[in-house]
């Protein structure tokens, strides 16, 4: 299993412009404001000072890039659904999120965070629909698992799956506080970082006539 040995903040973008990522793969974190995106990054990197977190929603206001193991980026996105932020500000964040998600050349995967204690909101549903629409592969991460007992967790996952149309085994349960789910998250990250290999043409197909119809 991979371990995260190095982590550093690289840059913040306020708008979409080419990001000097040297082609390294990016894994973005999306989710409601205050759901724990920045905390996940810190716990995953074993570096509590890496990303700024706050008990007040609306902490992350830019698209922030963190380089892990000099190998890939975690991209911390502003949260959505922060009702108390001025409308203009919220629209600016939404534009930043969409601009990044649609524009990045190196985006490999999105971690869609939801709070394990609550049914996903309409905005969470919109986000997963958006990710599907743009064919962006994603994993739902149900975070703050430390706040529920094992039995309670088992009961809250089905509602999350129904709302977001995902299967229970696809959901990662996580806690930035006590390390729940760390191993599965590492495994998922490792998996999405594998270079995509073109499936080889089987031998029996080699002499097949070319498909001409358009």
Among 7, 33, 64, 128, binds ligand GTP (CB under 6 A): 33
Q: In whole angstroms, give the CA distance from residue 75 to residue 101.
A: 10
* Beta carbons of 108 and 135 less than 8 angstroms apart: no
81 binds ligand GTP (CB under 6 A): no
Among 64, 139, 156, 175, binds ligand GTP (CB under 6 A): 175
Among 73, 144, 156, 181, binds ligand GTP (CB under 6 A): 144
Binding mask 5-44 for Mg ion (x = CB under 5 A): --------------------------------xx------
Among 11, 16, 24, 58, binds ligand GTP (CB under 6 A): 58
123 binds ligand GTP (CB under 6 A): no
Q: In whole angstroms, give the CA distance from residue 73 to residue 75.
A: 6
112 binds ligand GTP (CB under 6 A): no
Give the residue closest to ligand GTP by C-beta. Answer: 79
Among 19, 27, 30, 37, binds ligand GTP (CB under 6 A): 37
Of 59-67, 82-90, 132-140, 193-201, the segment contacting Mg ion by CB under 5 A is: 59-67
Whichever of 59 and 109 has its CB closer to ligand GTP, that residue is: 59
143 binds ligand GTP (CB under 6 A): yes
3-state secondary structure the chain: CCCCCCEEEEEEECCCCCCCCCCCCEEEEEEECCCCHHHHHHHHHCCCCCCCCCCCCCCCCCEEEEEECCCEEEEECCCECCCCCCHHHHHHHHHHHHHHHHHCCCEEEEEEEEECCCCCCHHHHHHHHHHHHCCCCEEEEEECHHHCCHHHHHHHHHHHHHHHCCCHHHCEECCCCCCCCHHHHHHHHHHHHCCCCCCCCCHHHCCCCCCCCC
Binding site for ligand GTP (CB under 6 A): 31, 33-39, 53-55, 57-60, 78-79, 143-144, 146-147, 175-177
Binding site for Mg ion (CB under 5 A): 37-38, 59-60
């Amino acid at each position: 299993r991979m371990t995260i040995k190095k982590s550093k903040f690289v840059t913040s973008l306020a708008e979409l412009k080419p990001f000097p990522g040297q082609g390294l793969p990016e894994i973005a974190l999306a989710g409601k404001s205050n759901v724990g995106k920045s905390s996940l990054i810190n716990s995953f990197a074993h570096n509590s000072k890496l990303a700024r977190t706050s008990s007040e929603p609306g902490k992350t206001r830019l698209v922030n890039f963190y380089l892990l193991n000099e190998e890939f980026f975690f991209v911390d996105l502003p949260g959505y659904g922060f009702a108390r932020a001025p409308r203009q500000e919220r629209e600016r964040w939404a534009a930043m999120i969409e601009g990044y998600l649609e524009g990045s050349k190196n985006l490999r995967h999105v971690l869609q965070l939801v709070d394990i204690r609550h049914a996903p909101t309409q905005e969470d549903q919109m986000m997963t629909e958006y990710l599907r629409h743009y064919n962006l592969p994603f994993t739902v991460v149900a975070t703050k698992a430390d706040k529920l007992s094992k039995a309670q967790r088992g009961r809250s996952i089905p509602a999350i799956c129904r709302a977001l149309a995902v299967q229970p085994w696809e959901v990662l349960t996580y806690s930035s506080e006590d390390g729940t789910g760390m191993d599965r998250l590492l495994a998922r990250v490792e998996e999405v970082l594998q270079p995509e290999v073109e499936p080889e043409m089987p031998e029996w197909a080699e002499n097949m006539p070319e498909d001409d119809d358009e």
